[in-house]
Structure 1
Amino acid sequence: MTDLAGRTALVTGGASGIGAECARKLAAQGAYVRVADVDEAGAKSLADEIGGEAWAVDLLNVEDLEHLRFDVDILVNNAGIQTVAPITEFDPIRFREIIMLMVEAPFLLIRAALPAMFEREFGRIINISSVHGLRASEFKVAYVTAKHALEGLSKVTSLEGGPHGVTSNCVNPGYVRTPLVENQIADQARIHNITEDEVLERVLLTESAIKRLVEPAEVASLVGWLSGADAAMVTGASYTMDGGWSAR
């Protein structure tokens, strides 16, 4: 597939998990991909694999992004972190970090990318949200808050970008087989005082009609479609990929 030939893409959190699969998918469709990640070695390794380039960046340093401008056709806001704890025990510093990484940084990257997209009259903003952008779960106050905010950011971007050929959408997976989720399983087992196997059955997948984790490549497949010409009229949308969780 070469439907993205001549296009450039930037994927944050691109060194592993969903981001890595998105980078591979976009490259396979012909795009030149910049892999952005705090893990410099991981970003370079993947960039070498797909013929792209690495951008070693800590997106928590939001001041460094305030005056940034760059020229890309596709921006995938994927970088994220998670902490599982009751509100009464949630570290305020950690709360702010999650909001900065998952709301403020995407805002600043969108702000940096839009001028060139507007000039070219083409752009694809794809925000990796979550079913938690549409639903809430206890013990995840910062993550749920951030993902709900990302939904709003994406919709405003779709309205401002539409007249200029720029679309903005969210992809909303359930629990994806990534290191982030694997780490969560241990945290949830501790909080609920159950085994890690029980976490999958009784906590993570209890609301899903399809009782398995989402695979990163499945998320990347949707990102690839949203990046192409066939999705030109798709904007302001939130695409659930949650095994039926949000159908309840």
Structure 2
Amino acid sequence: MTDDSIEPAELTADDLLVVEDDHFTAENVAIVTGGGSGIGRATAVALAANGLTVAATDIDEDGLAGTVEKAEDVGVAGTVETVVGDLTDDDDLERIVEEAAEFGQIRYLANIAGLQHIDPIDEFPVEQFDLLHSVMLRAPFVLSKHVIPHVEATDDGVGAIGNMASIHGHIATQDKVGYISSKFGIRGLTKCIAAEGDGTLRSFSVSTGYVKTPLVTNQIPDTAEERGISEREVVEDVMLGDAKVTEMMEPAEVANLFTLGFSKHGRHLDGGDLTWDGGHLSTY
């Protein structure tokens, strides 16, 4: 399906929220997973625009190179470093954090990497269910496990872990059991981190409606086939039909929520969820 309504706009400096924060400096590092495309790329650029050193990680080396190029085009105040890694490999997860620590003091972790698979439960491949949970729930747990000691070792223990959830971490639709169950789980992990963080190490989740990313656009044909409807009906009825704001979000808009959550302006956001859904969940 070719439609300007689902294609992201070119990311520019004007799209990015920039805030004053004493911790947003080059000495401090934010790890961003899924940094090679979509929301992960936008978040890496947004945090670098705020002066942080970003360790963007992805299995896609070319995608990471594109993120570095985009950061340079935007003219960020900080830097984007790259760490190629496989989120399904425990050794890689530990190495990602170790390499990120070489760039500075780790204070922030944005767990953004995501996958999707469309099938009803009785046909849903177990290996796909396991893969989605490995990338979107287990990896965030393992990365958090490795990142927390780095935050605790800072002079003031200030830092935050932000987790990409979804409106599908609040409600369920058909044919997405792997994605939805992992997103409900990531909200639980977020609350567990907050419970142990003592208020200086915070955690939060971000739940959006549909965003203009490859993860979303690539599922449109499969959803159309599974439901026996057109691709346009998937966008207009399935994805946006229950929302009051009937347009998809830009990746930069989601990235700005991570900037806000990591900043001093989010200091009372701890265990909670930033729900930016265009009225999808709360209106009818």
Q: TM-score scaled by structure 2?
A: 0.83
Aligned to 1:61: 89
Distance, in Å, in 1 between the alignment partners of 2:254 and 2:192 is 23
1:38 to 43, 55, 59: 59
CA contact (8 A) 2:107 2:160 kept: yes
Identify the residue that residue 117 of structure 1 maps to in structure 2: 151
Which residue does the alignment assign to 1:143? 179
1:132 partner letter? H
Kept in 2, the 8 Å contact 1:34–1:47? The answer is no
Q: CA 1:67 to 1:38, structure 2 compared with 1: closer, same or farther past 3 Å? A: closer
Cα contact 1:33–1:47 (8 A) shared by 2? no
Q: Kindly, what percent of the aligned residue pairs are identical?
A: 37
Q: Which residue of 1 aligns with 2:32?
A: 11
The superposition leaves residues 11-61 of structure 1 with CA deviations (integer Å, 9 ceiling, x where unpaired) of 000111001110111010000111100101211332354332111111012
Partner of residue 80 from structure 1, selected from 105, 114, 127:
114
Extract structure 1 runs of 4+ deviating beyond 2 A. Answer: 47-51, 62-71
The structural deviation recorded for 1:193 is 1.4
Aligned with residue 223 of structure 2, among 188, 197, 217: 188
Whole-Å Cα distance in 2 between the matches of residues 108 and 46 of structure 1? 24
Gap regions ≥5 residues in structure 1: none
Tell me the number of residue pairs that the alignment of Structure 1 and Structure 2 aligns. 247
2:248 aligned with 1:213: yes
Is 1:128 equivalent to 2:156 in the alignment? no
Letter in 2 for 1:26: L
Evaluate the alpha carbon distance shift between residue 69 and residue 192 of structure 1 in structure 2; reply closer, same or farther with a 3 A threshold: closer
Q: 1:96 aligns with which of 118, 127, 130?
A: 130
Distance in 2 (CA, whole Å) between partners of 1:137 and 1:201 is 16
Shift in alpha-carbon separation, 1:221–1:69, aligned structure 2, 3 A = closer
The alignment status of 1:240 with 2:261, answered yes or no, reads: no
RMSD of aligned alpha carbons: 1.5
Q: Which residue of the partner structure matches residue 201 of structure 1?
A: 236
Q: Secondary structure at the match of 1:245?
A: coil
Structure 1 residue 9 displacement after superposition: 0.7
* Offset, 1:65: 3.0
* Partner SS, residue 35 of structure 1: strand
Q: Please report how far the alpha carbon of residue 154 of structure 1 lies from its aligned counterpart in structure 2 after TM superposition.
A: 0.5
Q: What letter corresponds to residue 56 of structure 1 in structure 2?
A: V
Equivalent residues of 2:244, 2:279 under 8 A apart: yes
Aligned equivalent of 1:158, options 194, 203, 224: 194
Q: Greater helix percent: which structure?
A: 1
1: CA distance between counterparts of 2:238 and 2:97? Answer: 42
Question: Are residues 179 and 49 of structure 1, via their aligned partners in 2, closer, same or farther at CA, if it must alter by over 3 Å?
Answer: closer
Matched-pair contact (CA < 8 Å) for 2:85–2:92:
no
1:49–1:213 CA distance, 2 compared to 1 (3 A) = closer
1 CA distance for matches of 2:66 and 2:274?
30
- Are residues 39 and 162 of structure 1, via their aligned partners in 2, closer, same or farther at CA, if it must alter by over 3 Å? same
Contact 1:169–1:237 at 8 Å: present in 2 too?
yes
Please report the TM-score for the alignment, with normalisation by the length of structure 1: 0.95
Structure 2 unmatched ranges of 5 or more = 1-17, 72-78
Contact 1:11–1:35, Cα closer than 8 Å, also in 2: yes
C-alpha distance in structure 1 between counterparts of 2:237 and 2:70, whole Å: 38
Instruction: Name the CA shift for 1:135/1:119 in 2 (closer, same or farther; >3 Å).
Output: same
